[in-house]
Amino acid sequence: MKLLHCIIGVALFTSFSGIIHGEEQAVTIAASGDDPLAVKQSYLKQIHAEEAWDTVKENNTITIAIVDTGVDLKHPDLVSNLVPGVNLINSKRTPQDDNGHGTNVAGVVAAAGNNDMGITGILWKAQIMPIKALESDGSGGEAKLAEGIRYAVDHGAKIVVLSLGLNKYSTLMSETVKYAEEHDVLLVAATGNEGNSVKYPAAYATVLAVGGMTADRVADARSNKGMEIDLVAPWDVFTTALGGSYEYKDGTSMAAPQAAAVAALAWSRHPELKAYQIRQLLRQTADNLGSPGWNASTGYGLLRADRAVSEAPLLDMYEPNNRKDQAKSISISKMLTASFSDGSDPDWFYFDAPYDGTVQLTFDLAADQQVAVQHTDATGAFTSVTAVPGTPIDLKVNKGRSYVLLQLANRNWKQEVPYKLTTAFQIYRDQFEDNDRQFKAYVLPSKSQSLTGTFHQNEDQDWFEFPVEQSGSLSIEVSADTARMDLVLFVQKQGEKAYTVDENEDGGSESLSLPQVFPGNYYIRVTNVKDYAFPIAGEYTLKINYDVKQMDPNEPNNRSYQATTVSLGTAYYGLIDKVDDLDWFQFKLDEESMTQIELTDIPDGSTMFLSLFDGALKPVYNTDGTLEIRAAQRLSAGTYYVKLSANQPFDRSLYQFIVNAKPLTGGFSDIRGHWAQDAILSMSAKQIVNGYDNYTFRPDQTITRAEATAILGRAFQLTQSKTIAYTDLTTKHWAYDWIARAAGRGIIDGYPDRSFAPDQPISRMEMTSMMARSMNITGNQRGAVPFTDVDDQYWGVGILRQMKAGGWIGGYANGSFRPDQQATRAEFITMLTQILR
């Protein structure tokens, strides 16, 4: 997976020194440098950087890593602020920028200030560690990004700037972000520039996510927004460029480094703070834009450098929020910090869920206490639960505003208890679940419709079954409301060719148009590409447009010379839409075949007529039917024509026409390639065996006592009959004479109950015994037992010995004979062929 770089494109609460509940302090003196191009850096005024410089201009005690395309290591406005970095793309080279993006980012953070040259960074002096993790075209894999972050953490960086991102959640990146947080490293990332959902890694709970703001103090329309955004910074900058030059750049890629630099300024003022406290301080000091508090467009507001370095960090920036009417807005997908002043202090918050779903709350408290949580969702539903630190609780939410009241479960607790609260949103399970497999497909009504679905779990895939009751046209489109989806559309008519559509990338729609569909069940599957197989906070819309207007796809075929050529075994559909309409089809047989022509789905009240002609248009046969026509015929190789007509026109439903042909081998359609083919052909040529009326031999079908007896009678030319009287056999039975002759020869006999059971299958042992008696073999031979699954006590062991010794029978590869297994027609004929050689 590629990352899009131009998104311009530890101990808990170990120290709280310097953190108080206090008032904002005014800053009245503004400092400025002598850099000649600083007049082009309007964004510095927007974030009040000059006022901040009066308090602090630099931080050369911590390292800021820029994981990007590298940095221009010789840029005169950057070189003094660079420390050794690494090239993860090519370890033999320095992290020299070969794209320009990383150099742009570095200039925003720390172009040397007051050096009478070029521009000034937000930090006049700093330690910038260039980490080249992206290719020269600005793309790269998440593995290199994760490696870059870990390198920064392991080599002493306290801040990592990530002006890059991708739309998919990644377990690897999630673990890497956690690693940075555990090592007290602040990650600052751009939200992205597509006017869509916040990209990863900005979207992770412990990453400071920075969007872009216009000069009019509103979120840029292109800046990605959503429940993970923390704050915004100016979209447009003037910054350092490759080759020692300068240029205008824009995007959230340029907003993120502003926040990182301000974080470094704040850290120089409060070196005792942890990374999560610096993150919270930037939220606390942001200049609110729009509605009070946090919102999904600009987060906590505009980055304010002056306030970040002058205001005291608060233990709880959300106070006062002791009443519902004082509830403060928070994100449902971030980690924040607040505090209970004691057991009697209630904290009210609200959040706006973009969809129905679940909000998970996880608490981390500085004391061994539990939290009582009361929740009221958008519908007014109320729940109450007690949260144990470190154990998530799930709150079911409806789309819209929910309120939560948090308070220590121990109301008598007298000390202040700071806490971390991590929120996470999980989208609802859609109404069509469980439909993750084709056999579980949700059956939709047979009409045009639009429906909404979600991917609420790992590897979620949604199957739908759409029944087409009448032929027509079908168009299907699936679209997403978030770039975190990369949709794949799969459509298949049951038993036919499947269509997979994946033409567009993140957030793009996929569509398929089938101008002619025929009755049957169509399966539709909506999924994400494999790499996006995680739960996604977003919805897709599946639109199905089903037009049942009928048309004949084979026209014009009103004359024999216009006949539609059909493929054998393929269904064709048509209409008789005029009184004089005729539909002609033609097919070709390469060899003699058993041919079956079927005409079905004839409309109620209509009679259709079918005529078959040979290649010279001489009639072969005619037939008609009101419901269906099925005609089987043995045909020689050649071209054939079929003419269809009807007693009345119809245009609201389609008939189905299909020609099936099975090549004949020795007059049989089902023995070609069979292991017993030669034996069957030999016995058939001698008229010892025959098949069935439909030109099949059915070699793998079990052979009955009557069939076996008749075959042996023909094979051994039995002529003398014996008077027989079996309770289940009359003189009208087709095999009566053969059974009487075989009984006279002693080949066959009935059962003690005086039945013969002519239609009962025979076993392999019975087959062998019948063959032996036909050859006058008595089975008196002695010797070793010939097969592993019989012994000396078996009733037919003597016959098996003698037949095996004569080479007339053989067993299976494992040495068994399976005497009680039912014999097939093929086995019988093969043994008989060996005997008659």
What is the predicted pLDDT for the residue at 325? 86
- Is 550 a residue whose pLDDT tops 80? no
Catalytic residue from among 5, 35, 48, 68: 68
- Is 532 a residue whose pLDDT tops 90? no
Structure-block tokens of residue 61: 């005690």
What is the predicted pLDDT for the residue at 17? 32
- Is 1 a residue whose pLDDT tops 70? no
- Could you give the dihedral angle defined by the CA atoms of residues 282, 285, 286 and 292, in that order, rounded to the nearest 10 degrees? 130
Radius of gyration of the chain (CA): 42
Q: Cβ(49)–Cβ(146) under 8 Å? A: no
- 31 — pLDDT class (breaks 50, 70, 90): low
Instruction: Report the chain's terminal Cα–Cα distance, integer Å.
Output: 69
pLDDT digit string (tens) for 730-745? 999 999 999 999 999 9
- Is 582 a residue whose pLDDT tops 60? yes
- Is 770 a residue whose pLDDT tops 80? yes
Q: Cβ(138)–Cβ(8) under 8 Å? A: no
Q: CA 713, 718, 719 angle in degrees (round to 5)?
A: 130
- 331 — pLDDT class (breaks 50, 70, 90): very high
Catalytic residue from among 163, 197, 253, 593: 253
DSSP code per residue over 481-524: SSTT--EEEEEEETTS-EEEE--S-TT--EEEEEEEE-SEEEEE
Average pLDDT over residues 492-513: 94
Lowest-pLDDT range of 10-24, 307-321, 808-822: 10-24
81-90, 319-328, 742-751, range with greatest mean pLDDT:
81-90
- Is 323 a residue whose pLDDT tops 90? no
Average pLDDT over residues 749-774: 91
Lowest-pLDDT range of 5-9, 249-253, 554-558: 5-9
Average pLDDT over residues 693-721: 92
pLDDT digit string (tens) for 219-240? 999 999 999 999 999 999 999 9
Strand (E) positions, 98-163? 125-132, 157-162
Exposure string for 604-628, b = 16+ CB within 10 A, e = fewer: eebebbbbbbeeeeeeeeeeebeee
What is the predicted pLDDT for the residue at 7? 56
Q: Is 101 a catalytic residue?
A: yes
Percentage of the residues of the chain whose pLDDT score is greater than 70: 96
What is the predicted pLDDT for the residue at 23? 39
**Alpha-carbon distance values, 64 to 52, 84, 93, 158, 836 (Å):** 19, 11, 21, 6, 94
DSSP 815: S
Average pLDDT over residues 193-197: 94
- 9 — pLDDT class (breaks 50, 70, 90): very low
Q: Is 68 a catalytic residue?
A: yes
Structure-block tokens of residue 251: 């995007």
pLDDT digit string (tens) for 63-117? 999 999 999 999 999 999 999 999 999 999 999 999 999 999 999 999 999 999 9
Catalytic residue from among 101, 170, 250, 356: 101
In the three-class reduction of DSSP (H, G, I as helix; E, B as strand; rest coil), residue 643 is classed as strand
What is the predicted pLDDT for the residue at 395? 95
What is the predicted pLDDT for the residue at 19? 38
Helix (H) or strand (E) holding 623: strand 619-625
Q: Is 253 a catalytic residue?
A: yes
Q: What is the Cα–Cα distance from 491 to 338, expressed in whole angstroms?
A: 51
pLDDT digit string (tens) for 454-483? 999 999 999 999 999 888 889 999 999 999
Average pLDDT over residues 273-296: 93
- 549 — pLDDT class (breaks 50, 70, 90): low
What is the predicted pLDDT for the residue at 782? 80
- The helix-helix angle for 825-836 and 705-715 (nearest 10°) equals 20
What is the predicted pLDDT for the residue at 5? 43
Q: What is the Cα–Cα distance from 350 to 353, expressed in whole angstroms?
A: 10
Average pLDDT over residues 176-198: 96
3-state DSSP: the chain helix, strand, coil percent, rounded to 5? 20, 30, 50
Nearest to 196 by CA among 445, 499, 536: 536
Q: What is the Cα–Cα distance from 713 to 716, expressed in whole angstroms?
A: 5
What is the average pLDDT value for the chain, to the nearest integer?
A: 92
Domains of the chain: 38-310 (3.40.50.200), 324-427 (2.60.120.380), 438-547 (2.60.120.380), 560-663 (2.60.120.380), 677-836 (no CATH)
Higher pLDDT: 621 or 8? It is 621
